[in-house]
Amino acid sequence: MRRHSPPPAAGRPVRVRLAAILLLADTCACTRVAHANDLEDLYHLARSRDPELTIATYQRDAAKEARPQAIAQLLPHISAGGSAERERQGYSDAKLGPGAVPNCALDVTASGERCYATTRGLSVTLSQTLWSTEAYNLAREASSQVNAAEATWRGAEQNLLLRLAQAYFAILAASDQLDTNRRERDAFNTLLAQAKGRMQTGVGPRSDVEQAQAFFDATEQSVIDAQDLLDDAHLALTRIVGPHRSALAPLREDLPLALPEPALVEDWVAAARSSNYDVRAAAFKVEAASHDIRVQRGKALPTLALTGSSSHVWQDDLLGGNQRLDTIGINLSWPLFQGGAVASAVRQSRALYREAESQLDAIQRDTERQTRAAFRGVVSGVARIAAAHRAVESGRNAVEAMRRNVEFGTGTEFDLLNAQNNYYAAQRAYAQVRYDYLTSLLTLKQQAGRLTEPDLMQVDALLVAPDE
């Protein structure tokens, strides 16, 4: 059995700073191999394998192209064209006689002539928008969309850090539960064998055997459930990082505890409102929606453009010979009526803007709720870990006391079974509350937009088991 630190003295306030108090864990008695940098290695795999981050990356890359596409409408447009035509013209009067008109042939059925001519042309046109309300606001809308996509991607990065840690902790928690349930089953099996031995010698009643059998049978199902839970936890991690080894390093026995800094929840809520990437992305989407209203209105407003063109035509003398035409000017285009399409688009854009505002409000409220919950989880986690540790120590002492009572005949077998059951339940609760504390700590930073890779590496450092 591993060593355990004494619980805090009664009445002592549980206020600690980072690495100020080391609380030794009551983990399983079996030895597990600790591998350094497990969480760091998994994070490097997840950076390239996690499907959610990959999707967010491609979404960001695609959204970035909206900006150059929108700006392109405000930049010069150059186009070139070419043509080649064959024309036929007919003359009903051939007073000039056959061949008087070049490239003409005498019609054998009448006195008229049919004349053929070839025309070839090349043209180059340049257009520069001088003013377009639609194009100008479309560029502003695109910038907001790009900012929203970038914030969404940053949020996905932080979410990956949190999801990876949660998946890792889920495996450790399931493994701890499986180990505890197996030891609990072995303990009840021992008590069952002892009860059978006492019954066979006539010292103990049959009811003790039946009670011990009932507790033992219940542990069989708990072991099966714990194994299924562990398998599911491994599959959840595989979804993030792909195939990985099944043996993961456990938490150190000495887990440093810390209250949030700053110590006021309102400071964390304020940081979440301004720095949370989900909130920032939603705010940029509201901004983009407001620009889109102006874009739709601009479709009914005048557009001013500077245009210039140069064309060269090569043709037969019959059509006037070769020509060249160079033009430059200002064009004004004003769509006065488009069947009500613009008015409808404006109404639609306004509705989408109100939708974006509502989504922002919902995300802000949800972010505040999660921030406060995570803050409470960190603050209460320190006290819960200390209380759970005391419960484990008390449960162990209760088991020893009940075992002595049974040996001396002052206690019943049922009391010992209950004490044993309570002891292992306290061990499971203690193991889980440690993971809950670390999850709350990472969640609090993620909600405030402060979760970074070094934060995950600090947790990774806790996975290296100390030398014993």
Number of domains into which the chain is organized: 2
Same domain, 126 and 140: no
In a domain, 205, yes or no: yes
Q: Which residues of the chain have pLDDT under 50?
A: 1-36, 94, 96, 466-468
In a domain, 390, yes or no: yes
In a domain, 1, yes or no: no
- Amino acid occupying residue 107: D
Same domain, 193 and 317: no
CA 440/CA 165 separation, integer angstroms: 11
**Domain with 411 in it:** 21-71+134-298+339-461
- Amino acid occupying residue 82: G
Alpha carbon 425 to chain centroid distance? Answer: 35
Residues ≥6 apart with Cβ < 8 Å to 174: 226, 229, 230, 232, 233
In a domain, 210, yes or no: yes
Predicted confidence at residue 99, as pLDDT, reads 53
Q: Considering the entire predicted model, what is its pTM?
A: 0.78
Same domain, 206 and 294: yes
Which residue is associated with the tokens 């009811």?
A: 207
Burial class (CB in 10 A: 0-12, 13-18, 19+), 257: buried
Same domain, 95 and 224: no
Q: Where are any strands of DSSP class E within 37-132? A: 77-91, 104-106, 113-132
In a domain, 7, yes or no: no
Predicted confidence at residue 155, as pLDDT, reads 96
In a domain, 150, yes or no: yes
Same domain, 247 and 380: yes
Same domain, 150 and 44: yes
Task: Give me the residues paired with residue 159 across strands.
Answer: none
Same domain, 120 and 224: no
Number of H helices and number of E strands within the chain? 10, 7
Residues ≥6 apart with Cβ < 8 Å to 143: 67
Same domain, 201 and 119: no
Q: What is the pLDDT of residues 361-376, one digit of tens each?
A: 999 999 999 999 999 9
Same domain, 105 and 181: no
Predicted confidence at residue 198, as pLDDT, reads 74
Same domain, 184 and 261: yes
Same domain, 85 and 198: no
Residue 401 gets the label, from left (phi > 0), alpha (psi -120 to 50) or beta, of alpha
Residue 115 has which token pair? 């004349």
Same domain, 97 and 173: no
Residue 396 has which token pair? 């162990």
Q: What is the pLDDT of residues 3-16, one digit of tens each?
A: 333 333 333 333 33
- 8 Å CB contact between 435 and 175: no
CATH number, residue 265: 1.20.1600.10
Residue 117 gets the label, from left (phi > 0), alpha (psi -120 to 50) or beta, of beta
In a domain, 92, yes or no: yes
Neighbours of 177 (CB within 10 A): 23
- DSSP states of 238-280 as a string? HHHH-S--S--PPPPSEEEE---SS--HHHHHHHHHHH-HHHH
In a domain, 155, yes or no: yes
Residue 255 has which token pair? 């887990």
